[in-house]
Amino acid sequence: MSALALSLVLTLSAADDELLSGHAPAKVQVTHPVPAWAPRTFSLGMTAREGLWSLQVRLGWEAAFYERRGHDLVFTVHLGTGLALAKPTGITDHFQHVALAGLGYRKVSKLVNWGFHWGIGIDWYRTAYSFAPLESRVVAYTEGKAQLGLRVLPNLVLGGWFGYGSPLAFDARYPGQTYSGGIMFGLYADWR
């Protein structure tokens, strides 16, 4: 099923760039009505790890360092927060705040847009237990995401994403870090 979905995405993307017609792809006009200092992406999603489900909200900034015919390589910065909605037995509260910087690829076209990015940074998490003292720490953190969206307006793409995030190292003395990150999925809006 996933191979069929990937094939469909690539076919629509190629058709959108007129590659199937035998003509050279038209150059995608690179205009950025949103200033570089303003966020370019908003995402809302969920993470799942070890029985804990967390609502995630993120703002993202992107700056292209290579743009050619709709193939963009970008620097990314993401800031976000997460709050546990469903918790395993013994956990009374959990939140995490992340700050990530990384690299990404974006396939920008008139209809289908897709890409991926990877970032590394910090995660400040706090876990409250019914059986132990509050745990609050800052740890090194990394995550990667893939996204697929449709252009609904000239400068607006709406779509979905999935990914995985995790602290870079685990310390058995601090069990709360095992609830940070995990499998992630959600929706995003990207404006440029």
Beta-carbon count within 10 A of 26 CB:
13
Give the start-to-end residue ranges of the domains of the chain: 32-191
Closest-CA residue to 118 (of 56, 184, 40, 53): 184
Per cent of the chain over pLDDT 70 is 83
CA dist., res. 98 & res. 75, Å (int)? 17
CA dist., res. 109 & res. 120, Å (int)? 28
The overall average pLDDT reported for the chain is 87
The three-class DSSP label of residue 2 is helix
Q: Do strands 71-86 and 52-68 pair parallel, antiparallel, or not at all (unpaired)?
A: antiparallel
Confidence of residue 33 (pLDDT cuts 50, 70, 90): confident
Torsion sign, CA atoms 106, 46, 9, 41? negative
CA dihedral 180, 41, 99, 37 (to 10 degrees): -170
pLDDT in tens, 94-133: 999 999 999 999 999 999 999 999 999 999 999 999 998 9
CA dist., res. 178 & res. 192, Å (int)? 36
Among the ranges given (1-10, 107-116, 161-170), the one the predictor scored with the smallest mean pLDDT = 1-10
Helices (H) and strands (E) in the chain, counts: 1, 8
- Output the pLDDT for position 35: 79
- Output the pLDDT for position 7: 47
**Residue 111 or 29, more confident:** 111
**Residue 144 or 13, more confident:** 144
Beta-carbon count within 10 A of 183 CB:
12
**Core vs surface per residue 51-88: b (16+ CB within 10 A) or e:** ebebbbebebbbebeeeeebebebebbbebebebeebe
pTM of the prediction? 0.80
In CATH, the architecture of 32-191 is Beta Barrel (2.40)
- Output the pLDDT for position 32: 64
**In the numeric block, which tokens belong to residue 17?**
């760039």
CA dist., res. 99 & res. 144, Å (int)? 13
Q: What residues does 62 pair with on adjacent strands?
A: 76
